[in-house]
Structure 1
Amino acid sequence: MSAVDKAKNAAQDAAGKAKETVGKATGDHSTEAEGKTDQSKADLKNAGEKVKDTFKH
C-alpha cells in the first residue's frame, strides 16, 4: 500500500470519527451515521490494499 493511500484512508477515517462525534453531540443521527459509514469505507479500503499487497509478494 502506498503512503498516499494510507494517508487518504487515515484522513477519511479521522473525518468519519469527527462526523460521528459531532452527530452524537448534536443529536443528529444522520451525521453520526455518515461518520460511521466513512469509517467503514476507510476500513474496507485498507483491507483491499492489504490483499493487493499480499498478492504482490
Structure 2
Amino acid sequence: MSSAIDVIENLNILTSHIKVSEGEYFRVYSDPLGIPTIGYGYALAIKGEDGRWKYY
C-alpha cells in the first residue's frame, strides 16, 4: 500500500515532467491542435462531437 508521501512525491515528479515537456505559460495560448490552453497543458475548452467549443 502506498503512503500519502509516496503519492505526493509521485505527483510532484509527474508535474515537473509535464512542465518540462509541455512548457509553462502564464497566459492563454493555442496548443498545436488550436485548443485554448493555460499553465502547463490545462485545456480551457475542447470541441465536442458537434464541433462546438465546450468551456471549462
Give TM-score scaled by structure 1 length.
0.37
The structure with the greater share of residues assigned to helix is 1
More relative contact order, 1 or 2 (CA 8 Å, 6+ apart): 1
The structure with the greater share of residues assigned to strand is 2
Give TM-score scaled by structure 2 length.
0.38
